[in-house]
Structure 1
Amino acid sequence: MSFYLLRFSPFAVALCVLTLFGCSMPERNSASGALPVTISASKSINPNAAGKATSVSMTLYELRDTDNFNSSDFFTFLDASDPSLTNDISKIHEYILRPGETRTFTLKPAADVNAIGVIAAFREIDKAEWRDIYQITPPKSRAWYHLSLFDSEKKINIQLDKTSIIIDEVN
């Protein structure tokens, strides 16, 4: 009988160690809702009449819904005159970016936020792509035995080019 127990004890010990290891793993940022963000302004951003790059004001919105954000014009954002738009906004972050500047930070959106909206006040707003949206996807549920040590973290890259905004997800 003791030989039988000794034969299976390494397996039992390994199983216990792996189970405890899985339970003690730190929570990943994407599971906790944190979202690393990098904002990069190109060196030719927001050109003036002489073609020289100038600073631009950028606003990042944590959105509950995107319909009103997509349908509003630029000046509605400035004067906050649309109550349905303001109801869709959970939080506002404002930045002024110089040509060539990069900023990195972590957003911690509320549970009811399902998108990140970005607008930029370019000089020639009528000719600019001044708005973009990133949809936040909920984290996938995983089996208890799935080890996520090698999974890549979801990151957002916001690129402000000459007169446009591009939001990409980077893994």
Structure 2
Amino acid sequence: MVLNFLSQFAARRSFSEWLAIGGLCLCLAACSSGGPTVKEQTDLQVQVAASVNVNPDDWGRAAPIMVRVYELKSATAFESADFFTLQNDSKKALGDDVLAVDEFILRPGDKREIRRKSNQASAAIGVLAGYRDLGKSVWRDVYRLPTAPDASWYRAAIPDKKQKLVIRLDQRTVSITESE
């Protein structure tokens, strides 16, 4: 009885219908395959702000400051390198850990914004600030990014939240915090 029903069902289908059903099954099988997982890119928004009294000279007058913002796979090499190694040859010191670098000079009171999609392998944001008196300054900071979720098909319609950070360049310290 069941075999009779299946043969009648198969007889009623045209070749194009069978082709469409087969294509649909193939697509569903491809979607469920266990290929390598791709991480989602995050919208990265970083505001860099220099205070009005940043990088003072011997008389207390504020001065411009060099800033480098690194997007890193791992923060280990960045945290262990000294200032001059990072300033003069960061490619050699950090190797493949560097995914992107932004460098600029800010005057006291200036702000700069960095906007881009983060690399899928990003694990941290590092900042290097060229203070005059390195011995009395905190010239480096690292912010560890949350683990990126696996890429999803629905993100085209429902974007993930943005990663908003603020880098503050104060008188003798640099810091990275999450922004609301």
Instruction: Provide the TM-score with structure 2 as the length reference.
Output: 0.68
Query: Which residue identity does 1:90 align to in structure 2?
Result: L
Q: In 2 relative to 1, CA 139–91 (structure 1 residues): closer, same or farther, beyond 3 Å?
A: closer
* Secondary structure of 1:158 counterpart: strand
CA–CA distance in structure 2, aligned partners of residues 60 and 39 of structure 1: 9
Which among 106, 112, 116 is matched to residue 97 of structure 1?
106
Q: Map 1:66-105; keep pairs closer than 5 Å.
A: 66-80=75-89, 83=92, 85-105=94-114
**Kept after mapping to 2: 8 A contact 1:46/1:53:** yes
Higher-Rg member (1/2): 2
> What is the count of residue pairs matched by the alignment?
138
CA–CA distance in structure 1, aligned partners of residues 90 and 103 of structure 2: 18
Q: What is the CA-CA distance between 1:152 and the residue it aligns to?
A: 6.4
The match for 2:133 is 124
Instruction: Provide the TM-score with structure 1 as the length reference.
Output: 0.71
* Secondary structure of 2:66 counterpart: strand
Query: Which residue identity does 1:160 align to in structure 2?
Result: L
CA–CA distance in structure 1, aligned partners of residues 66 and 52 of structure 2: 15
Q: Which runs of 5+ in 1 are unaligned?
A: 1-30, 142-148
Q: What is the CA-CA distance between 1:84 and the residue it aligns to?
A: 5.0
Query: Which residue identity does 1:164 align to in structure 2?
Result: T
The match for 1:115 is 124
The match for 1:6 is none
Q: What is the CA-CA distance between 1:132 and the residue it aligns to?
A: 0.2
Q: Which runs of 5+ in 2 are unaligned?
A: 1-39, 151-157
Q: What is the CA-CA distance between 1:32 and the residue it aligns to?
A: 4.2
The match for 2:178 is 169
Q: What is the CA-CA distance between 1:95 and the residue it aligns to?
A: 1.1
Query: Which residue identity does 2:83 align to in structure 1?
Result: F
Percent of matched pairs sharing the same residue: 35
Q: What is the CA-CA distance between 1:107 and the residue it aligns to?
A: 3.0
C-alpha RMSD over aligned residues = 2.7
CA–CA distance in structure 1, aligned partners of residues 130 and 98 of structure 2: 18
The match for 1:133 is 142
CA–CA distance in structure 2, aligned partners of residues 84 and 169 of structure 1: 27
